[in-house]
Amino acid sequence: MTAPPLSIPTPMLKLDDLTVQRGEIPLCERVTLSLSAGSICHLIGANGTGKTTLLMQLAGLLPIITGEIHYQGTAGVPVQPLYVSHQLGIHPSLTVAQNLTFLLNLYGITPSSTDIDEALAWVGLQGFETISSSHLSAGQTRRITLARLYLLTPQVTPLWLLDEPFTALDVDMMARMETRLREFVGMGGAIVMTSHQPVGVANQVLDLSDYMV
């Protein structure tokens, strides 16, 4: 009896001959990637190769000029991925809890007070719930944006796009972040991330320097 052919899972994210460009200037050409559920890709490259630009293209914030993105087998980005960028999106006039609630509302999540307390404790902001975000340091403000990772699952956001998530984090918080990233992909998610620090949890690397124009 002939064995049935093996079923090859559809990649979570597939890039085919993608051009990364800033304005009218192409930075990289013919970029390719196949990222399956359960994988973490460390996006690297020399300064100016377009790492942040590529993440913004994957998030649907910048246009694709040439090439294609396939997300879960469908052309384009039909489901909004989670994008954590340098532009934090924190409103200074809102409290810490209000800002975190707003960030989660964007993905259809209405967190309970317990959810908020646990997520803020995870990033070391316990007791800051009612503090105005205008009173926080830059590092503390960044932790608000990271706190949502504690509550988001692949059922809500299967793909995470993280731009330098380890910046300004102490050793303990970096360890907690790495644990959370492992948990997320272990549940079936996938991650593309940049980092100037080593990423021990990554099992793929995409080096944009190999595709420079």
Tens of pLDDT, residues 173-207: 999 999 999 999 999 999 999 998 889 999 999 99
Tell me how far apart the alpha carbons of residues 45 and 181 are, in angstroms, rounded to a whole number: 22
Say if CB 192 and CB 13 are below 8 A apart. yes
Q: Where along the chain do its domains lie?
A: 90-153
Listed residue (117, 55, 50) closest to 84, CA to CA: 55
The model's pTM: 0.92
Tens of pLDDT, residues 75-98: 887 667 899 987 678 999 999 999
